[in-house]
Amino acid sequence: MIATLGFSPTEWQAIGLSLKVACIATVFSLPFGIFVAYALVRWNFYGKHFLNGLVHLPLVLPPVVTGYILLVIFGVRGPIGSFLQDWGLVFAFRWTGAALAAAIMAFPLMVRAIRLSLEAVDPKLEQAAATLGASRSWVFLTITLPLAVPGILAGAVLAFAKALGEFGATITFVSSIPGQTQTVPSAIYALLQVPGQEGAALRLVAVSIVLAMGALLFSEILARRASKRVDGA
Amino acid sequence: MIATLGFSPTEWQAIGLSLKVACIATVFSLPFGIFVAYALVRWNFYGKHFLNGLVHLPLVLPPVVTGYILLVIFGVRGPIGSFLQDWGLVFAFRWTGAALAAAIMAFPLMVRAIRLSLEAVDPKLEQAAATLGASRSWVFLTITLPLAVPGILAGAVLAFAKALGEFGATITFVSSIPGQTQTVPSAIYALLQVPGQEGAALRLVAVSIVLAMGALLFSEILARRASKRVDGA
Amino acid sequence: DTITVFAAASLKASMDDVTAAFEDKSDHKVQTSYAGSSALARQIEQGAPADVFISANVGWMDHLEAQDLLVPKSRVALLTNALVLISPVDMDADVDLSRNASLIEALGDTPLAMAFVDAVPAGIYGKAVLTSLGLWDAVSPKVAQADNVRGALALVARGEARLGIVYATDARAEPRVSVVATFPSDSHAPIVYPVAEIAPSSQGAQDFMTYLASSEAQAIFESHGFGLVH
Amino acid sequence: MSLLISVHHKFGDFILDAKFEAPKGLTVLYGRSGSGKSTIINAVAGLLRPQKAQITVGSQVLQDSDARTWVPPHKRRLGYIFQDSRLFPHLSVAGNLDYAARASRRSIDTAHRAQVIDMLDIGALLARRPIALSGGEKQRVAIGRALLADPQVILADEPLASLDGARKAEILPYFERIRDETDIPILYVTHAVNEVARLATTVIALEKGKVLRQGPARDVLSDPRARPMGLGAVGAVLDAVIKAHHDDGLTELDAGGAAFFLPHVAQPIGAKVRVRLPASDVLLAHQRPSGLSALNIVSGQVEAIQNTSESGAIVTLSTCAGPILARITQRSVRAMDLRVGNPCCAIVKTVAIASDLGTDLA
Amino acid sequence: MSLLISVHHKFGDFILDAKFEAPKGLTVLYGRSGSGKSTIINAVAGLLRPQKAQITVGSQVLQDSDARTWVPPHKRRLGYIFQDSRLFPHLSVAGNLDYAARASRRSIDTAHRAQVIDMLDIGALLARRPIALSGGEKQRVAIGRALLADPQVILADEPLASLDGARKAEILPYFERIRDETDIPILYVTHAVNEVARLATTVIALEKGKVLRQGPARDVLSDPRARPMGLGAVGAVLDAVIKAHHDDGLTELDAGGAAFFLPHVAQPIGAKVRVRLPASDVLLAHQRPSGLSALNIVSGQVEAIQNTSESGAIVTLSTCAGPILARITQRSVRAMDLRVGNPCCAIVKTVAIASDLGTDLA
Ligand SMILES: Nc1ncnc2c1ncn2[C@@H]1O[C@H](COP(=O)(O)OP(=O)(O)OP(=O)(O)O)[C@@H](O)[C@H]1O
Ligand SMILES: Nc1ncnc2c1ncn2[C@@H]1O[C@H](COP(=O)(O)OP(=O)(O)OP(=O)(O)O)[C@@H](O)[C@H]1O
Ligand code: MOO
Ligand SMILES: [Mg+2]
Ligand SMILES: [Mg+2]
């Protein structure tokens, strides 16, 4: 069948799963990313540097280490994992865990991008909004956030791309169970273990690229539209 | 001896090497990062989207794949690798290769951050500079670049952190030769392969964190100084 | 039932064939997660839903057994492997392992590709071999360690390294390398792939274990170059 | 409602130390560039938190640094027109205008909105983004945005600086209306003497962060010794009543018995108006001259003569309309032998009065 | 050098279609907010590339859309003072001032620099960043930055709008000097009539993107029919020579035989000056009046009477000094029975002349 493009059902599953994981990871981490970026830019609080460091940690650590830490914390036996399990939220060896791993790995990229855009918002405009009666949160929603759109989009697309490519932390945390937690990168990894399967691996690589480029293009279009609203007629 | 902090000489080598690799990767990729970001922001050329996609690629691909591609291209038998070898520049199995891998993996992060800051530079100021007789390149050097400092710093620190943590592409490309290409992440990885070595791994993880946090703090201080120059007395 | 098998990544080629054959014969379904033995073992430690674990590494299986995570008495040595010295087909190195200087001469100043010599089984065995041959001290500065045996194989297959030490099964599956020499099996501890059921036991896992021991499965493994434990 | 302001703030070498009351009406902050006008306005807005300050509007304390009282800007109900327009670049003109209503979840008073849009002539711009506006258009939108905020205090930092005379003439009456018809105190920064003369109830003159002089506009402007705005600003301010509209298009005013004629003033008979007679527009004559094109001639007595420079002087006449100031040369003082107590006539050009009433402000 | 400008550009509904010459000297672009002034200036600067344009300075073609000639902004040798000051936020005031010299690798002319800094009174601000400046201080630095660029064309978009009168009085003579002593054409946007009257060699009046009227300042300002700047701007411009400096501080001018007295003018005897007599500052009388405080009385003949509104009129007298305009009421025209050809006297207050010569501009 042409529709399968030569991919096996497990590969299709992996593609679907990767998309789902990347989307969920991006969408769910975005509010946190915005919040943390805002806190880092505009608030002064004890432990700010610590938070900043913590956010960057997944970038610095080998992914395997991050995955291992996630396994220890969010595994069924982990302190948070076992707690959340009582509430029906299971990460261990589920696609949700893959999404969590992807989100955590992508988080520093997202926060940095948003932070840069928030820093570039002119505080004079926020002040002007305040004189017009806008509360802090309203100022944030109607001035700061819209003006930070370029960074938010950049953060989202970076996170999405990273989530699509994330491998080390994911396979360490949730393993690579076909249909459950096997994402495209773990499928590629598995294929690379078999000599002579480079061709099959390459096709999956191509899929990753196509998905990421699509997201990239989409974000560029959104960004252009947003900047047109600010810069031109 | 206290000075060894309990690290073996090979571990000390790995720490030194990681620092060297991360510094070199950051410093050498920065001009390219600035150039590419500028081109993406201010120029319109054929293949712009392609370049943008290419830059993001290392983010999307599993690191092993990127490492393998590097091996194919920059290895002693690769098209570019063999060419450069004639000029005395060898990447394969050298720390230079580790730096190359780290730089390539960090490149999308760097470019994105710089790009965001360049986009935030008010073109009206660049115009004002042009009316004062500044050529394009002078405007870039004296107006655009200094105003984009927050993004350049963010890009550099992201790249540095990423370079410190990079493992998959590096090990695939240049493997791990103690004293040559064995970076902290590969040492950590090796330790994690053996039951009961988590403690030793943890100490190296701590070193990575300390190094990255130092860089982070340093960049924050520089950024604050730069923004003070713009915002306040 | 659906049986979840955690298998060392280096077994993927043969295990895919074995599970396919098993699924044909029984009404069980098999899901296999391939990753490094260490990652899999840690996941099992943290409560992963694995029914069967096939490790490339005796140490990790011992580790799990010590924590009573295995179904008692289910552990068996499933496969064996041999260690070979390889080089790219187009470089045809000539090494005579009986002559100590030979390997060093063949290497020149090029690296010797291996898996991590202190961490990954193929590397550990390789280091043991070189040590017993009295070559380790001379060779060790030139060893380029990959994160797993496939990485070492790729370095040789691409011609980046002139020589490498991998499993016989890997060498056999990669057409771009040729075997220069096979290391004597008495120069290292036996290369064994242990398999065990992970507690709690299930019917499916037992059936799969039984099948692994069957001559049909063994034949598949043999066709991939593995040796059998008798 | 009145504004009570007492601020102390230090910026490097610059020390702002000002204490004054801005009573009901429009208070002009006047002073040279860098004298601290914007700093005071920002303190009232709460955008700057001075090191020491007591700021009160009516009975509400906005800031009291002793009592650690501090009302955040968004609770101060301001209408702040910034020196730089500060429009929101991502919102259309309409979005900018309606921002305050949305922020406070008020419904938009469409009649008022239409009126402000009409006055500012920005109806055609509503869908545009600020980037596509000219400098003056931006400033008009900024004025509209502040006026539509339903403020309890209006802060206007050189609101009309970038506008042409005709535009100014259209917008000034609106500030007059707010001044006269509402209880909203207005703090207004301007460098334009005619705006001061026309709008100010109270004038606060600043110099290097200190209050140089403060008081009712009439007193400050008609005091020849105090010239915070330069000699050009000195002049009498008279209260008058519209007496008649004549067929030839002139309106006759009555100021304490003296008649003044000026081009048609669109106010009903009996309405009270303020008339400013800039000292530089008044001529003096021994006796009522004839055959002269000036219609407004008031006789009185010399009350004071004040030399203002090497060659100039300001002569104050007391007349039935009130004190009238004339700026003339010392040579004329001597030639006319003017002395305190002598009778004298003031000649005022019709149009000179009119220009300050906005019939023609250009 | 003169500037030749012909631009056609469309922004949404707005169409700019202007063609004019700005000869040597200072050319004021005058027009209401949104009439296209900044757009024209941006076209000359090369910051906007109009759909069709021919722009030439002296013999250099800056743009010719037919010949596809295009000189980029940095090669145009401009001194552009922006409507918004556009200072570089990361550079100190000194860095901003020296930017042009550094950009073109010129050595800094320290004497000129010191003079400009002194004139603008920004010496104390040199080490500060723009964020720490007041609105007027920013604008002064922006003026200095443009003046120090060693330009061959000066573009000034409302350069003095945010400055107080005294500051303006300090800076205006500098523009006069550039106008009179150099060959640099200046395009100058302003809404202030007194700046037009004082500075303009040429006036270009714009309305909705079209040139409404253009010509030498004297002609445009003294033509009662053409009032692009409103009635307030109408007035005669006379050429005069400094005749004497008197002991009582007055300077005597001679304009075609008529004597005018005004407060001390710091120019040597024999120097030529331009004197503006705003029509609204001129009174008419049948015969030379006596006992009047005004020192400047010129007799002449009525040349024209032009009704300007329901009640007002402008009367043109021909005198030995040249035409003099007076803005009076129609009632006075009737009362005085003024007719073309009748003899008549013009009375001009001393200070009215002085204020346009900058002795007191506030
Ligand atoms: N990008 C744009 N899209 C649509 N209209 C525009 C755009 N830019 C400017 N305009 C319009 O062009 C006209 C001319 O603008 P310009 O800035 O030249 O005015 P101006 O004469 O300088 O006015 P001001 O005195 O207010 O600064 C204005 O009506 C403005 O609304
Ligand atoms: N951050 C700062 N650091 C040092 N000095 C400052 C700072 N901000 C303002 N100033 C100084 O404070 C003084 C008052 O500034 P302010 O903006 O109140 O002046 P202003 O009266 O509004 O002047 P303008 O008419 O020019 O707008 C100025 O001399 C200015 O240089
Ligand atoms: O994948 Mo393994 O456990 O290194 O042979
Ligand atoms: Mg100010
Ligand atoms: Mg303009």
Pairing of strands C112-115, C163-167: parallel
CATH 2.40.50.100 residue spans of chain D = 235-353
Q: How far is A92 from chain C (nearest CA, A)?
A: 7
- Chain C contact set for A193 (CB, 8 A): 9-10, 12-13, 34, 150
The confidence score (pLDDT) of residue D231 equals 64
pLDDT digits (tens, 9 = 90+) for A36-83: 999 998 888 888 888 888 888 898 888 888 988 998 898 888 888 888
- Chain B contact set for C60 (CB, 8 A): 195
CATH of domain E3-231: 3.40.50.300
- Chain A contact set for B232 (CB, 8 A): none
Confidence of residue A145 (pLDDT cuts 50, 70, 90): very high
Q: Which ligand 1 atom is nearest residue E39's CA?
A: 18
Q: Is E12 in the pocket of ligand 1 (CB under 6 A)?
A: yes
Judge whether residue E352 has pLDDT over 70. Answer: no
Is residue A2 one of the residues assigned to a domain? no
Is residue A104 one of the residues assigned to a domain? yes
**Chain D contact partners (≥3 CB pairs within 8 A):** A, E
Whole-angstrom CA distances from E121 to A104, D15, E140 are: 56, 18, 8
**Chain E contact partners (≥3 CB pairs within 8 A):** B, D
Cβ of residue A195 closer than 8 Å to a chain C Cβ: yes
Q: Over the range B48-64, which residues count as b (16 or more CB within 10 Å of their CB) and which as e?
A: eeeebbebbbbbbbbbb
Chain-centre distance for alpha carbon E241: 21
pLDDT digits (tens, 9 = 90+) for E287-313: 888 778 777 889 899 988 888 777 788
Q: What is the mean pLDDT, run by run of 10 residues, along chain D of 362 residues?
A: 91 90 90 90 93 90 88 92 91 94 88 90 91 89 92 91 79 82 89 79 89 84 65 75 86 87 81 79 84 83 84 87 86 86 84 45 28
Q: Is C11 in the pocket of ligand 3 (CB under 6 A)?
A: no
pLDDT digits (tens, 9 = 90+) for E233-268: 677 878 888 888 888 888 888 888 888 888 787 778
Partner residue facing D294 (CB), from E157, E283, E315: E283
Q: Is A233 in the pocket of ligand 1 (CB under 6 A)?
A: yes
- Chain E contact set for B230 (CB, 8 A): 89-90, 129, 131
CATH number where B80 lies: 1.10.3720.10
Q: What is the DSSP string of B51-69?
A: HHHHHHHHHHS-HHHHHHH
């769910």: which residue's tokens?
Answer: A28
- Name the nearest CA neighbour of E237 among E213, E202, E189: E202
Tokens at residue E61, please?
């073609």
Tell me if B128 and E88 make a contact (CB, 8 A cut-off).
Answer: yes
The confidence score (pLDDT) of residue E354 equals 47
Q: What is the domain class of E235-353 according to CATH?
A: mainly beta
Confidence of residue E353 (pLDDT cuts 50, 70, 90): low
Ligand nearest to the CA of C123: 3
The confidence score (pLDDT) of residue D84 equals 86
Q: Specify whether the CB–CB gap between C8 and C191 falls below 8 A.
A: no
List of chain B residues with pLDDT < 50: 1-2, 232-233
Is residue A71 one of the residues assigned to a domain? yes
Q: Specify whether the CB–CB gap between C137 and B48 falls below 8 A.
A: no
Nearest CA to ligand 3 atom 2: C36
Residue numbers of B between 123 and 162 with CB closer than 8 Å to E: 124-125, 127-136, 138-139, 142-143, 146-147
Residue numbers of B between 142 and 181 with CB closer than 8 Å to C: 167, 171-172, 174-179, 181
pTM of the model: 0.87
HSE-CB of E222 using CA atoms within 13 angstroms? 18
Q: Count Cβ atoms below 10 Å from residue D139 Cβ, excluding itself.
A: 27
Q: Is C120 in the pocket of ligand 3 (CB under 6 A)?
A: yes
Percent of chain C with pLDDT over 90: 34
Contact call for E and D: 3+ CB–CB distances under 8 Å: yes
Cβ of residue C186 closer than 8 Å to a chain B Cβ: no
Is residue B166 one of the residues assigned to a domain? yes
- Chain C contact set for A190 (CB, 8 A): 9, 12, 34
- Chain D contact set for A129 (CB, 8 A): 74, 88, 99, 103
Ligand nearest to the CA of D138: 1
- Name the nearest CA neighbour of A173 among B135, C33, D162: C33
Q: What is the mean pLDDT of chain A?
A: 86
- Smallest CA–CA distance from B148 into chain E, residue: E90
**Range with lowest mean pLDDT among C105-109, D111-115, E54-58:** C105-109
Tell me if A133 and D84 make a contact (CB, 8 A cut-off).
Answer: no
Q: What is the DSSP string of A181-221?
A: T--HHHHHHHHHTSTT-HHHHHHHHHHHHHHHHHHHHHHHH
Q: How far is the CA of C226 from the centre of ligand 3 (A)?
A: 15
Judge whether residue A129 has pLDDT over 80. Answer: yes
Q: How far is C98 from chain A (nearest CA, A)?
A: 30
The confidence score (pLDDT) of residue D337 equals 87
- Smallest CA–CA distance from C16 into chain A, residue: A194
β partners of residue C2: C29
Q: Domain of B16?
A: 8-232
Confidence of residue A231 (pLDDT cuts 50, 70, 90): low
Residues with CB under 5 A from ligand 4 (ion): D 38, 83; E 134-135
Confidence of residue A9 (pLDDT cuts 50, 70, 90): confident
Query: Quick one: angle between helices D135-147 and D110-120, nearest 10?
Result: 150
Q: Is D88 in the pocket of ligand 2 (CB under 6 A)?
A: no
* Overall number of domains in chain A: 1
- Smallest CA–CA distance from E127 into chain B, residue: B233
Q: Which ligand 3 atom is nearest residue A193's CA?
A: 1
Is residue B1 one of the residues assigned to a domain? no
Cβ of residue B93 closer than 8 Å to a chain C Cβ: yes
Judge whether residue A2 has pLDDT over 60. Answer: no
Tell me if A75 and C46 make a contact (CB, 8 A cut-off).
Answer: yes
The confidence score (pLDDT) of residue E224 equals 66
Pairing of strands D202-207, D26-31: parallel
Instruction: Provide mean pLDDT across the span E217-242.
Output: 73
Partner residue facing C160 (CB), from B75, B178, B193: B75
Q: Is A231 in the pocket of ligand 1 (CB under 6 A)?
A: no
Backbone φ and ψ for E207, nearest 5 degrees, come out as -145, 125
**Chain A contact partners (≥3 CB pairs within 8 A):** B, C, D
The CA distance from E282 to E280, in Å, is: 6
Q: What is the mean pLDDT of chain E?
A: 85
Q: How far is the CA of D36 from the centre of ligand 2 (A)?
A: 6
Is residue A3 one of the residues assigned to a domain? no
CATH 3.40.50.300 residue spans of chain D = 3-231
Whole-angstrom CA distances from D335 to C16, C191, E308 are: 121, 127, 36
Q: How far is C134 from chain A (nearest CA, A)?
A: 31
Cβ of residue A48 closer than 8 Å to a chain C Cβ: no
Q: Specify whether the CB–CB gap between E315 and E270 falls below 8 A.
A: no
- Secondary structure string (H, E, C) spanning E310-326: CCEEEEEEEECCEEEEE
The confidence score (pLDDT) of residue A176 equals 84
Tell me if A161 and B188 make a contact (CB, 8 A cut-off).
Answer: no
Instruction: Provide mean pLDDT across the span A191-219.
Output: 84
Tokens at residue D229, please?
């705005």
SS3 category, D64: strand
Contact call for B and E: 3+ CB–CB distances under 8 Å: yes
Q: Specify whether the CB–CB gap between A111 and A32 falls below 8 A.
A: no
